[in-house]
């Protein structure tokens, strides 16, 4: 099976009656193993909504989502949560770190939630922090980190459960361009080397050459940019 993530004819409507807004309109996308897709488009066009649906954080109004061969469109909340924990790593624009946990413990929270906390998970946290140049920050709390460091912790955390699919919503917004590029390059390498799939929403056109292809969302419609 080559498609890790399939969205098929997805609609998303917020609200109901006269005040309802259709934010996504028959959006379809297939992402293969080893493929890194960029999403661009104006602010308010539905990019974050799209990413949330792709990652089972939000249910679609219509349409199907297939994650790693499994149709999740009609699963219970509990099953959806499980699939999200096992298969998906999120990186958001703001790092969303937990203020009272050290960098190391932010990472370990993930295997704890997934109930597979063990020696291997501990080692993985150490390795990831090293790789993202955060080894010396292991025992620090978020408030003492720079914006760039926080974002790298968020990225390390997203990789913690070794997800098949990585979804990143403007992950470089708080990084300087050099650091931003190196983080996206790392993501691109991980995708290629380990046959992962990734979708990244970005405003930064300089990142697009690191992706395999770019899609465009405008007024809730998705189109391929070629
Ligand atoms: N939970 C929500 N309830 C109502 N409207 C929402 C909600 N989330 C997003 N929207 C609206 O959907 C549109 C698309 O938002 P979003 O997906 O965040 O766009 P983008 O990420 O491209 O800037 C916006 O008009 C936004 O106000
Ligand atoms: Mg957004």
Tens digit of pLDDT for each residue in 122-170?
999 999 999 888 999 999 999 999 888 898 899 899 999 899 999 999 9
pLDDT at residue 132 in the model: 87
Token pair recorded at residue 87: 């298969």
Would you mind telling me the total number of residues written for the chain in this entry?
Answer: 226
Give pLDDT, residue 177. Answer: 86
Query: Which DSSP category does 194 fall into?
Result: T
Query: Which protein residues have a CB closer than 5 Å to ligand 2 (ion)?
Result: 47-48
**Rounded CA separation 200/214 (Å):** 9
DSSP state of 175: S
Q: What is the mean pLDDT of residues 182-196?
A: 90
In this structure, the residue with its CA closest to atom 5 of ligand 1 is 14
Q: How far is the CA of 204 from the centre of ligand 1 (A)?
A: 20
Pocket flag, ligand 1, residue 150 (CB < 6 Å): no
What does the pLDDT read at residue 113? 85
Q: Which residues pair with 29 in a beta bridge?
A: 7
Whether 183 is in the pocket of ligand 1, judged by its Cβ within 6 Å, is: no
Whole-number Å distance between alpha carbons of 150 and 36: 23
Structure confidence by residue, pLDDT tens digits, 96-118 = 899 999 999 999 998 898 888 89
Whether ligand 1 lies within 6 angstroms of the CB of 104 is answered as: no
Distance CA 73, CA 30 (A): 15
pLDDT for position 30: 97
Q: Is the CB of 226 under 6 A from ligand 1?
A: no
CB 76 within 8 A of CB 27: no
Q: Confirm or reject: Cβ of 47 under 6 Å from ligand 1.
A: yes
Question: What backbone phi and psi angles, to 5 degrees, belong to 26?
Answer: 50, 55
Sign of CA dihedral 88, 93, 99, 104: positive
C-alpha of residue 101 to centroid of ligand 1, in Å: 30
Residue in 113, 51, 119 with CA at minimum distance from that of residue 86 = 113
Tell me how many domains the chain contains. 1
Where do the H-state alpha helices sit in the chain? 47-54, 77-87, 103-113, 119-131, 147-159, 177-193
The CB of 42 under 6 Å from ligand 1? The reply is no
Atom 7 of ligand 1 has which residue's CA nearest to it? 14
CATH of the domain at 98: 3.40.50.300
SS3 76: coil
Q: What are the phi and psi torsion angles at 14 (to 5°)?
A: -100, 140
Report the percent of the chain where pLDDT is more than 70.
Answer: 99
Residue 177 token pair: 């361009």
C-alpha to C-alpha distances, 93 to 37, 96, 139, 175, 183, nearest whole angstrom = 17, 8, 23, 10, 13
Listing DSSP states for 102-120 in one string gives: -HHHHHHHHHHHTT--SHH
């Amino acid at each position: 099976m080559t498609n890790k993530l399939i969205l098929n004819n997805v609609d998303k409507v917020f609200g109901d009656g006269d005040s309802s807004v259709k934010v996504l309109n028959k959006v379809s996308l297939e992402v293969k193993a080893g493929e890194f897709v960029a999403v661009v488009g104006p602010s308010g066009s539905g990019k974050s909504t799209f990413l949330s649906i792709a990652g089972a954080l939000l249910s679609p109004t219509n349409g199907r989502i297939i994650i790693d061969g499994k149709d999740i469109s009609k699963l219970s909340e509990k099953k959806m949560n499980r699939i999200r924990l096992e298969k998906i790593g999120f990186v958001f624009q703001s790092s969303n770190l937990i203020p009272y946990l050290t960098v190391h413990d932010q990472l370990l929270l993930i295997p704890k939630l997934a109930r597979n906390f063990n020696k291997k998970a501990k080692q993985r946290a150490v390795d990831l922090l090293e790789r993202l140049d955060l080894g010396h920050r292991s025992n620090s709390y978020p408030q003492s980190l720079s914006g760039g460091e926080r974002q790298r912790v968020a990225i390390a955390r997203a990789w913690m459960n070794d997800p098949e699919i990585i979804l990143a919503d403007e992950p470089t917004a708080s990084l300087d361009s050099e650091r931003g590029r190196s983080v996206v390059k790392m993501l691109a390498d991980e995708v290629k080397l380990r046959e992962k799939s990734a979708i990244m929403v970005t405003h930064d056109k300089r990142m697009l050459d690191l992706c395999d292809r770019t899609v465009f969302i405008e007024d809730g419609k998705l189109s391929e940019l070629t």
